[in-house]
Amino acid sequence: MNLRRTTTTRRALAAVAIATGLVFSVAGCGGDNDKGDPESPKTSTPADSKKSPEQADSQAPADKVLAEVKGEDGIALSITSAKRDGGGFLTVEGTVTNGTGKPWAVVNWRGDEKELAANGGSIAGAALVDEAGKKKYLILRDTQGRCLCTRFTGGVLNGQTKTWYAQFPAPPEGTTNVSFQVGAMPPASIDITEGE
């Protein structure tokens, strides 16, 4: 083996190792953003990332409630969003709170249609009613009949609040208000917003 080639290779590897070490050192010594420089972006401190979920939730802005209905012996349904998507869908989101005093299995929200029988514990029976256009929009389903909606696996425990979503075919663009209906809950009038 050629001694000159071995020495040259070792020197090249050493130079690469030193250069790599310098690059990491410089990157690790980035600017100090706490100096009050208005043009430098602020980064989160470790104390910010150690907040408990309760603290994070209390500081997050509350969702605007479009509609809220109560019924079925203590079930409260809130709708926080009804956005028309670019693909011709309308996505409705909200929360459901169980105030019945016992666990709630969400059985009667799956709908009466035979195709929806496999959607137990879901909001598959929900519908939108466009009273002005005299049309009813059923929840969207995939080819196996599964709804494009939330399934409440394990039900909703007493006092628990769970989020949900449901997708529908979008009403015509001129329609800006519909009624959301599910199970034996009273209808909830909601305004549609345009998605991004």
Nearest alpha-carbon partner for 63 in 89, 83, 93: 93
Architecture label for domain 65-194: Sandwich (2.60)
pLDDT of residue 144: 84
Domain chopping of the chain, boundaries = 1-28, 65-194
Tell me if 146 sits within 8 A of 121, measured CB to CB: no
Q: Is the pLDDT of residue 147 over 50?
A: yes
Measured CA to CA, the distance from residue 63 to residue 121 in angstroms comes to 25
Nearest alpha-carbon partner for 173 in 140, 130, 127: 130
Model confidence pLDDT, tens digit, residues 46-74: 444 444 443 433 333 456 899 999 987 89
pLDDT, average across residues 103-121 = 81
Measured CA to CA, the distance from residue 178 to residue 191 in angstroms comes to 7
Measured CA to CA, the distance from residue 84 to residue 196 in angstroms comes to 9
Structure tokens at 27: 């990157």
Confidence of residue 34 (pLDDT cuts 50, 70, 90): very low
Stretch among 16-30, 34-48, 68-82, 116-130 having the lowest mean pLDDT: 34-48
- Pairing mode of beta strands 188-191, 135-138: unpaired
Confidence of residue 10 (pLDDT cuts 50, 70, 90): low
SS3 letters for 165-196?
EEEEECCCCCCCEEEEECCCCCCEEEECEECC
Confidence of residue 166 (pLDDT cuts 50, 70, 90): very high
Confidence of residue 4 (pLDDT cuts 50, 70, 90): low
Measured CA to CA, the distance from residue 132 to residue 9 in angstroms comes to 81
Q: Is the pLDDT of residue 31 over 60?
A: no
pLDDT of residue 48: 44
Please tell me the pTM assigned to this model.
0.65
Q: What angle do CA 187, 189, 193 make, to 5 degrees?
A: 140
pLDDT of residue 100: 92
Q: Report which of residues 117 and 165 the model is more confident about.
A: 165
Percent of residues in the chain assigned helix, strand, coil, to nearest 5: 25, 30, 45
Share of the chain above pLDDT 70, in %: 67
Q: Is the pLDDT of residue 176 over 70?
A: yes
Confidence of residue 2 (pLDDT cuts 50, 70, 90): low
Q: Is the pLDDT of residue 43 over 60?
A: no
Beta-carbon neighbour count of residue 125 at 10 Å?
21
